Structure 1
Amino acid sequence: MELKHATQNLNEDSNWPITTFAHRACFAAGCAAVLFSIAKSLLLMNAAVAPQPWLESTIAAMAAYLAADLGTGIYHWAIDNYGSAQTPIFGPQIVGFQGHHHRPSEITKMHVVYNVYITAAAVAAVAIPINLLCSDPVLLLFVGVFAGCVMFSQQFHAWAHTPKGRLPPLVAAIQDAGIILRRADHAAHHRAPFNTNYCIVSGVWNRVLDWSKFFVALEVVVAAALGHQPRSWSNPTSDWTENSAMN
């Protein structure tokens, strides 16, 4: 009930938060961490006496891209289905994701900094120590690509809700190519029963995960082990359904 009230309050507020100095600082730190990882990796490869590990690095970059898509899917599934406004650390995100189901187009009106500052802060906290301590170019490239994809996943998500005509041409092109999440592919997540298409980097994992009932199996395990049923097992309510009158 408290989550529902918090979500309604979020939806009724037409004045979305503006970016603050703290938001911009998190964004800058995240971008710096990503760029530093990639730049250090390239410098180490160029300076290596042994043959440059371009093949290993290419494989690492692809693995990072795929891992980021899978990771965002698992995180998205967990936030959508468990916890409440009172959940430590994650409570505000849980409320935000529930509000997003009710009014999905609002994400397209937020500034990119506000969309990604939380993931940017997490990226900076994890990647900066690795950047300082690691001298393996392959690992550094993996970290840089993974961190960059995770950091901007919420913006990819926002673009998947944005009409194609409003997207920058480059964004529309890479979206059409399936490099980042397509609008049509994500649309199924906002239709009942609201338990598919959780991945939001490229969505490449969605068909595999949905076909294999991966998240359904996780939900059964969680319910059996902890006694907590996911929200997607309940009948959809207005908190899960788009309010078209508000868009």
Structure 2
Amino acid sequence: MNCQFCYTAKMGLRKNLSAAQIVEQVVQARRMVGASEVSNVVFMGMGEPLHNVDEVLKAVSILLDPKGLGFSRNKVTVSTSGLVPQMERFLRESEASLAVSLNATTDYIRNWIMPINRKYNLEMLLGLLRREFPRQSLGRHQRQVFFEYIMLEGVNDSDEDADRLVEIARDIPCKINLIYFNTHDGSEFKCSDQERINAFRQRVSDAGVTCTIRQSRGDEEMSACGQLGKPDDEANWKPPPPRMRDPRTRAQRL
């Protein structure tokens, strides 16, 4: 999906996993740490789950089936950058929960940091969520969609952004999860400082919207969200996806 803040995205698309390969990751994790220690499964991070919707739907079905791995439908979540047609299908066919990597409150910024927005803009994305939530299909009651929001200094962390998030939440039942940007060499982005993140969260929460801060894990090992993979692996090297121009720089020149 070529999200500009994501180190993993620099690898581009290598392949899609089969449902068996996806489920096997959970099976192996249970063998390593014990079944009781693997309580939740989230599809996100190293690729766009709904880009591979057929296999993801099969894998989720196996995870939830009592004759499969027997997870609760409240413990399996599929996160997407916003592939609207595939989201519609997922909401129609799966009992798992849905999360959306929102990360911006305007098309102006989201077009830059998440190029998928140029195809499925905020009006299309949020329009679908307004229609579908609270969710009732398949007897599945998911009252709120989960919004993930990565905090980028000077990009999407202003008071105005917080206020626009509140406006979005007025029309869409949701929970907002603020995420630290995990740095990597050569990135043009920086994580918002802790004071700004706390103030942003407080402003959203004061308006009556559930807003939490996700603690980052694995950053010291380049193993945190957005840091996975080896884009420069010579054995599998291919030209990286294009970088998007910062629209604010162009506006300043004009």
Give me the TM-score of the superposition, normalised by structure 1.
0.29
- Give the greater-gyration-radius structure (CA): 1
More strand by share: 2
More helix by share: 1
Give me the TM-score of the superposition, normalised by structure 2.
0.28
Which is bigger in relative contact order (C-alpha 8 A, separation at least 6)? 1
